[in-house]
């Protein structure tokens, strides 16, 4: 019997939730974690990381796929997609997440026509797919659902809540012998990301800058010059510092140098910053360049380094750039001096096994 306040569309969607819960132990443990909100403010279905919003007319029009839609939106929440995507281009991030989770959904249910599926991306994290979509510079067509940022949300609290739900669900599924396939791949990838990733810290700086800045709600992405991509323009602070410890030990780690250049290139390609100050140092500043193109970042020359290690001069130079949102410093942490605090957020990316670290900033282990 249909209650007076309950639409036919909501009745069907709530039934879909029960059907999803009945399929696996993991789904049963996570599917009730989000509030369900009926609304005409979205044309299809969407989530802000806390709630799942749906248009009842859409659900009725895609009734055969209601279970797939419910699971799809829930997985965005469970896998923390909204928070993980802060600071990225929303449309492309949404598409990357859809490519990542839809193969899992289709193992159990169907999805509406036009759902984003591509075997090239199966088993990949959305971060990896996002990078590939940017590098391919293809025409981006959105899927049927979407993720919406929520300015009022406490993303850390929401993320912690979903982490508890997710971990309990994974434990139950593991005990039942039902944690495998695409689901295990996605959860393993997320657990790896539980370790501090300096790339995510950079993204947080960008997010904080957007929160403090004047919002224009649009900016041009370097990879898509003919498209206005949704997001905020970085109008006041759009510079970051990437510094490299180029003392003698760096000769054995060309992968670290490559990573520094690649990250500078990626930040510029994604439109996250306008300029990158790239610095190479041993006891002196060997080379520094303010680059504003991906090509310039890829071509950055470390200069004539290879001597001892003392970052006093480098930190003096970095401190002059008061408009930078932060500094990422690659080092093996075997230094006579780390210099004075440049009065900006600093992340030390430690690719060595030496020393106790500096008195300021945050130290994270290097991972390619």
Which range is most confident: 189-193, 195-199, 333-337? 333-337
Q: What is the DSSP letter of 231?
A: S
pLDDT tens digits, residue range 338-368?
Answer: 999 998 888 888 887 655 568 788 788 777 6
**CA torsion, ordered 92, 96, 99, 101, to nearest 10 deg:** -130
- CA distances (Å), origin 367, targets 210, 256, 364: 27, 9, 9
What backbone phi and psi angles, to 5 degrees, belong to 327?
Answer: -130, 130
Q: Which of 117-121, 134-138, 192-196 has the highest mean pLDDT?
A: 117-121
Q: Which of 66-75, 132-141, 199-208, 229-238 has the lowest mean pLDDT?
A: 229-238
3-state secondary structure of 52: strand
- Using 50, 70 and 90 to split pLDDT, how confident is the model at 240? very high
For the chain, the domains span: 8-194, 201-365
d(CA 188, CA 199): 19
Average pLDDT, the chain: 81
In this prediction, residue 227 has a pLDDT band, given cuts at 50, 70 and 90, of very low
What was the pLDDT predicted at 150?
Answer: 55
Beta strand pairing call for 275-281 and 285-291: antiparallel
Segment among 14-28, 147-161, 228-242, 313-327 with least mean pLDDT: 228-242
CATH topology of domain 201-365: Rossmann fold (3.40.50)
8 Å CB contact between 269 and 296: no
Residue 122 has pLDDT above 60, yes or no: yes
**Is 356 strand, coil or helix?**
coil
Q: Residue 54: its pLDDT value, please? A: 95
**3-class DSSP state of 185:** helix
Interatomic CA distance for residues 118 and 314, integer angstroms: 46
């Amino acid at each position: 019997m249909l209650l007076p306040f309950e639409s036919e569309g909501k009745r069907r969607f709530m039934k879909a939730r029960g059907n999803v819960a009945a399929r696996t132990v993991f789904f049963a443990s996570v599917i009730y974690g989000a509030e369900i909100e009926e609304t005409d403010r979205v044309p299809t279905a969407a989530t802000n990381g806390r709630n799942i919003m749906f248009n009842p007319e859409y659900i009725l029009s895609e009734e055969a796929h209601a279970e797939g839609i419910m699971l799809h939106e829930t997985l965005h929440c469970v896998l923390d997609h909204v928070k993980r995507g802060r600071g990225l281009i929303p449309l492309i991030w949404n598409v990357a997440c859809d490519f990542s989770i839809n193969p899992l959904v289709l193992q159990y249910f169907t999805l509406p026509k036009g759902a984003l599926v591509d075997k090239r991306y199966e088993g990949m994290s959305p971060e990896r797919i996002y990078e590939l979509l940017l590098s391919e510079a293809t025409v981006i067509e959105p899927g049927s659902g979407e993720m919406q940022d929520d300015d009022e949300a406490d993303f850390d609290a929401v993320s912690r809540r979903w982490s508890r739900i997710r971990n309990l669900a994974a434990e139950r599924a593991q005990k039942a012998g039902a944690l495998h396939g695409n689901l295990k791949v996605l959860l393993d990838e997320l657990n790896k990301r539980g370790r501090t990733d300096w790339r995510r810290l950079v993204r947080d700086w960008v997010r904080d800058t957007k929160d403090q800045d004047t919002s224009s709600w649009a900016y041009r992405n370097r990879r898509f010059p003919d498209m206005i991509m949704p997001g905020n323009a970085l109008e006041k602070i759009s510079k970051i510092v990437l510094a490299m410890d180029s003392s003698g030990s760096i000769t054995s780690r060309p992968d670290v140098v490559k990573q520094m250049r690649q990250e500078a290139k990626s930040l510029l390609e994604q439109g996250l910053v306008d300029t990158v100050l790239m610095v190479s140092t041993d006891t002196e500043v060997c080379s520094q360049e303010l680059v504003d193109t991906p090509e310039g970042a890829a071509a950055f020359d470390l200069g004539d380094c290879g001597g001892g290690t003392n970052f006093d001069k480098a930190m003096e130079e970095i401190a002059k750039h008061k408009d930078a949102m932060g500094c990422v410093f690659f080092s093996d942490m075997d230094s006579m001096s780390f210099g004075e605090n440049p009065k900006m957020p600093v992340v030390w990316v430690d690719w060595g096994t030496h020393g106790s670290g500096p008195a300021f900033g945050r130290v994270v282990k290097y991972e390619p």
